[in-house]
Amino acid sequence: MLNITRFGLLLTACLLLSGCAESNYTWGWHIVSPFDARGQTNLQFLMNGVFSTISVALVSITCSVILGLLVALPSLSKNKPLLFLSRIYVEVFRAVPMLVLILWVYYGVPVLTGLQLSVFFAGVIALALCDSAFEAEIFRAGLQSIEDGQREAADALGLSYGDKLRFIILPQAVRRVLPPLGNQFVYMLKASSLLSVIGYSELTRRANELVVVEYRPLEIYTLLVLEYLVLILLASWCVRKLEHRLARSDRTATR
């Protein structure tokens, strides 16, 4: 798999270079070269957006996980109104495009509530609301995957609904859904680029600003692709390590 990935990246690079060669494109890598004073300044400007991208993704995924769990909990209940509200919430926020919700929250919430939101908090709210619908489905699947015998044993012990969730169901469900939650964080890193439309100074916004100054979109956006590639590969590696650790601990526990 790794060799196939490397081959695909090499092939893509070759196609890009050959296409530019045929159009007699003159590369200007000096504007992002670490060996050039101007390139160093541009690189520093671009790299300063890494922290903004990671921070908004971390805060958004944290909020969406909490909200998604709250939305998913009614799936264990027999209360039909709660189940109906949960399904409506999931279907609505899963149907609305994330970019549209970002724009609506940023421009609409101040008009409706009188609250002036910073681009960071507007972005977090929009990303968390959209992603919480998917988190709710992940948690719902995890909660419903717990065997009926576990619930029956908890009922036999006389545990309350809250204690049954706290000590029996949630610890097992959270353990099962950690890998897909990690994948959602990878998705959130990529989705954070949409916040550039409201002026949040993350990687994509900084790249757009630098393109206006340097008039070198191909070089700058190529570097932007590489920045996201490194971020996503690191996040995916952490997710895989977590999955392997959970699988190893499960095998140890069953011995």
Cα dihedral across residues 29, 31, 36, 41: positive or negative: negative
pLDDT recorded at residue 76: 74
Q: Give the separation between CA 234 and CA 86, rounded to whole angstroms.
A: 34
Residue with structure tokens 């964080």? Answer: 185
As a dihedral over the C-alpha atoms of residue 72, residue 74, residue 76, residue 78, rounded to 10 degrees, the angle is -160
pLDDT recorded at residue 27: 86
pLDDT recorded at residue 228: 94
Is residue 4 pLDDT above 50, yes or no? Answer: no
pLDDT tens digits, 67-118 = 999 999 887 777 888 889 999 999 999 999 999 999 999 999 999 998 889 9
Q: What domains sit in the chain, N to C, each tagged with a CATH number?
A: 40-250 (1.10.3720.10)
pLDDT recorded at residue 145: 83
Mean local confidence (pLDDT), 13-27: 60
Q: pTM score > 0.85 for this model?
A: no
Residue with structure tokens 């799936």? Answer: 75
pLDDT tens digits, 190-213 = 999 999 999 999 999 999 999 999
User: How large a percentage of the chain has pLDDT more than 90?
Assistant: 52
Residue 5 tokens, joined: 């990935």
Residue 31 tokens, joined: 């504007």
> Looking at per-residue confidence, does 220 or 78 come out higher?
220
Mean local confidence (pLDDT), 129-155: 86
Pair 60, 152: CB distance under 8 Å: no
Mean local confidence (pLDDT), 120-133: 95
pLDDT tens digits, 145-191 = 888 787 778 778 778 777 788 888 888 888 888 888 888 999 999 99
Backbone angles phi, psi at 105, to 5 degrees: -65, -45
SS (H, E, C) 104-130: HHHHHHHHHHCCCCCHHHHHHHHHHHH
pLDDT tens digits, 45-74 = 999 999 999 999 999 999 999 999 999 988
Q: Give the separation between CA 162 and CA 180, rounded to whole angstroms.
A: 25
Mean local confidence (pLDDT), 209-228: 92
Question: Which residues are CB-neighbours of 67 under 8 A, at least 6 positions away?
Answer: 128, 129, 132, 135, 136
Is residue 254 pLDDT above 60, yes or no? Answer: no
pLDDT recorded at residue 30: 87
